[in-house]
Structure 1
Amino acid sequence: MIGHLNLILRLAIWFLLTANLSVANIIIGISVALLLPGRPKTPEALQDWLRALWETLVAIPQAYKEAFEMILRPHNYEEVTMERVKPGRTPGLIFLDIFLITFTPTTIVLKYHENGWYEVHWVRRRRKA
């Protein structure tokens, strides 16, 4: 069985994809969320999910800021870096981390490595020294 927070994440993604809150769509969404295969239940700290939610809310103004910076001062340099996954992350939290990195216009996750690394592509204004 899947954890409550993973169920909520699956339903949130379903409602964002369908943009429909009718009774029939809610029933279909719950059915799909329950039928999707899941990993064995892992302990998840509510604190980790709340921190991820806070980081999502902070990322929205940051994304606008970066977009305006790219319009006003072009970013001409590209760089690919490897970033470590935070320890003890469940698949749902890893998905949210990838979403947050990709949400901002100057970064995108190219690949998630199973050994605990994200391959991140950056667009920067200047080369890092």
Structure 2
Amino acid sequence: MIGYLDLLLRLTIWFLLTADLSPANIIIGVCIALILPRNRTVTAVLKDWLHAIWEIIVAIPTAYIEAVEIILRPHTAEDTVMERVKPNRTPGLIFLDIFLITFTPKTIVLKYHEDGRYEVHRVRRRKLKQGGE
């Protein structure tokens, strides 16, 4: 079952890149999705995929809300933080995690470190100093 989800993810990416649903492109996409190497040592759990899909659904309105916040109240502070990869993630789920972080306007993944961390750049509102300044 999970192999089908990885295949579906690869096909979705292929169709988004090519923007062509012709029969020839579908055949090429299926062939490429099957030929690409897989990581057979780590298997994803269906619960992880469902959780990732839910996070995608939640990220869409969040992205719109953050975009409006940035327009109405400019964010002048920024920082870079290291975030840990969730345990037991397959490469497909790691890709979705990076996509979700980058999808929202306030954050972007700068680098994925092989030791299981993301380098994330964030913009935020500058906090006002205490004492009325």
TM-score, normalisation: structure 1: 0.93
Runs of 4+ residues over 6 Å off in structure 1? none
Cα displacement string for residues 29-64 of structure 1 (whole angstroms, at most 9, x for unaligned residues): 001111112222532111110110110011000000
2:112 and 2:119 in contact (8 A); partners too: yes
Cα displacement string for residues 103-123 of structure 1 (whole angstroms, at most 9, x for unaligned residues): 000000011111111110000
TM-score, normalisation: structure 2: 0.90
Residue in structure 1 matched with residue 61 of structure 2 by the alignment? 61
Residue in structure 1 matched with residue 106 of structure 2 by the alignment? 106
1:79 and 1:123 in contact (8 A); partners too: yes
Output aligned runs, 1:1-129, within 5 Å.
3-40=3-40, 42-127=42-127
Cα displacement string for residues 55-105 of structure 1 (whole angstroms, at most 9, x for unaligned residues): 001100000000010011000001000111111111100000000000000
Q: Percent identity?
A: 69
2:42 and 2:88 in contact (8 A); partners too: no
Q: 5+ residue gaps in structure 1?
A: none
Comparing 8-17 with 38-47, which one deviates more in the overlay? 38-47
1:80 and 1:120 in contact (8 A); partners too: yes
In our comparison, the structure showing a higher alpha carbon Rg is 2
**What is the total number of aligned residue pairs between the two structures?**
128
Distance 1:121 1:64, change over 3 A: same
Q: 5+ residue gaps in structure 2?
A: none
Quick one: distance in 1 between partners of 2:15 and 2:84? 31
